[in-house]
Amino acid sequence: MATSNEGKERTPDAAAQADLLAAFDTGRVEDVALAAPRIDTHLSHVFLTKTRAYKMKRAVKLPFVDFSTLEKRHQGCLAELDVNRRMAGAMYVGVKSVVALEGGRYRIGGKGDPLDWVIEMKRFDQSMQFDELAKAGRLTPALLEKTADAIAEAHGALEPVLTTGHAADYRAIVRELRETETDGADRLGLHVGDPSLYDALDAALAHADPLIERRRREGKVRRGHGDLHLRNMCLFEGEPTLFDALEFDERLATNDVLYDLAFLLMDLRRIGMKEGANLVMNRYWDAAREEEAALELLPFFMALRATVRMAVAVEAEHFEEADEYRRLAFDLLHHTHPRAVAIGGLSGAGKSAVAKKLAGTMTGPAGARWLRTDVLRKRARDKAPEEKMEKDAYAPEARAKVYDDLFAHAAAAFDAGASVIIDATFQEKQMREAAASLAHTPVAGFWLDAPLAVRLERIGGREGDASDAGAEVAKAQREPESLGQGWTRIDATGTVEEVAARVRAALAD
């Protein structure tokens, strides 16, 4: 990747396009009354009216994309419309020509020779863009989980691609990016002997190589969004919407679906929202029925996304930002010892709320894999977490099966290098004993202890939760007299934050 603007060519079409830009800016395009200043990016010009956005490809030729001619810009617009209608169909209206009228005026659409092309989109409130919501503290857990559902659904609808997504393709990306660190060393403040980010990426890729190849053969490579960061997501008509997908390079946009997801996870880590990244990761894994073994890929995929952003920042001469991405990439690749935690307790004790709070603070690029019997029980019957289950799902044989599934998923996640939290009632002694020896590693078990009145109040306040246990179930349950080895009793009264803090303190002892 180039580290300066020297690869950019000014094209003959750029001068003609400048006249069109002036016409938009001065109100000489019919029925296009700009409601905000023109937005210029390195590839596009965007014009905003009260209800519409019109996006014109810049007449440029860059090392990675060529929009230097009218036909190439037309094809670029058509490609962008095609890829975005898959994930943001309600937002994208169509591709329209810009034609000349008399008196130095212009019009979008209609008869006449095209002077240029624009993508017409319905405009959304920019305060609803996810980066803006994050700044305002409005990127809520519920919205993040709903977004993870939308991404999983979008990925599930895509056709597998078997001809790309090899480990060698990721190695080529690393090789192309390496010059950023070497050529930009002085500007990044690097010195001889400093650790090489690219050597670290190569080592991580060598470890992940067999899994990447297996997943490619199994159809996990798809033509995804390709640019799934916070600025390319918004609340549109009340729904999380993934827009502005990468359209100009099929190779860059066709990868393992987890590399697509990794951009969002990395971006959330970058802005200090590791707990948000954890919510997205766990919800996506459950919604997509993703294999636990694939958790092994997240350090490499997230670090590679950070490294690409580092290269973009270097090219733009934003060196402080580039250094931030470089440090994040190293942090994501840093191997920390994973932890295994079991959270048990009677219905309403707050197990899932505490587990959810803890998961985002544990070691790992996106925190711990949070596994619930309530979710796995429904996953086994192809139900969403919030759907109610039939009574036979709670029969003794079915309960034993869901615990077997819980331990199998947890062992696979731990073997993939991830921290794990397993969340269940663990009322039976044999289940607590089984949890304590999970994956041949010491498991810290915590029993959340809350009086019946507190538990009933919490059950009554549940909304949209995976647990089906009601007040009658809670009243019939009994506390175990002895928890057994490896389990610690925790006072579960108070707020979620207070109970989670008690568990963290016990973990630190």
Residue 267 maps to which CATH number?
3.90.1200.10
Q: What is the 3-state secondary structure (H, E, C) of 45-57?
A: EEEECCCEEEEEE
Kindly state whether residues 154 and 250 are assigned to the same domain: yes
Kindly state whether residues 66 and 155 are assigned to the same domain: no
Structural domain including 392 reads: 340-508
Kindly state whether residues 419 and 308 are assigned to the same domain: no
pLDDT of residue 16 exceeding 90, the answer is: no
- Residue 35's pLDDT band, with cuts at 50, 70 and 90, is very high
Domains of the chain: total: 3
- Residue 378's pLDDT band, with cuts at 50, 70 and 90, is confident
pLDDT of residue 5 exceeding 90, the answer is: no
Q: Which of 298, 333, 368 is the last residue of a domain?
A: 333
Q: Which of 108, 123, 138 is the last residue of a domain?
A: 123
- Residue 382's pLDDT band, with cuts at 50, 70 and 90, is confident
351: nearest Cα among 244, 252, 474: 474
Alpha helices, H only, 184-297 = 197-217, 250-253, 257-270, 274-287
Kindly state whether residues 119 and 137 are assigned to the same domain: no
310: nearest Cα among 402, 189, 218, 414: 189
| Amino acid 190: pLDDT | 64
One-letter amino acid for residue 125 of the chain: D
Is the Cα dihedral 128, 134, 136, 142 positive or negative?
Answer: positive
CA 189 – CA 320 distance, rounded (Å): 10
The answer to whether residue 229 is domain-embedded is: yes
- Residue 391's pLDDT band, with cuts at 50, 70 and 90, is confident
**Computed over its alpha carbons, how large is the radius of gyration of the chain?**
26
Maximum Cα interatomic distance, the chain, rounded to a whole number of Å? 90
CATH number of the domain residue 113 falls in: 3.30.200
| Amino acid 319: pLDDT | 86
CA 399 – CA 374 distance, rounded (Å): 10
Is the distance from CB of 419 to CB of 338 less than 8 angstroms?
Answer: yes
High-pLDDT (> 70) share of the chain, %: 95
Kindly state whether residues 205 and 316 are assigned to the same domain: yes
Residues 6+ apart with CB under 8 A from 275: 357, 359, 360, 361, 367
What is the C-alpha end-to-end distance of the chain, expressed in Å? Answer: 48
Q: Which of 274, 300, 333 is the last residue of a domain?
A: 333
What is the tally of helices (H) and strands (E) in the chain? 18, 18
What is the pTM assigned to this prediction? 0.91
Kindly state whether residues 173 and 268 are assigned to the same domain: yes
SS3 category, 502? helix
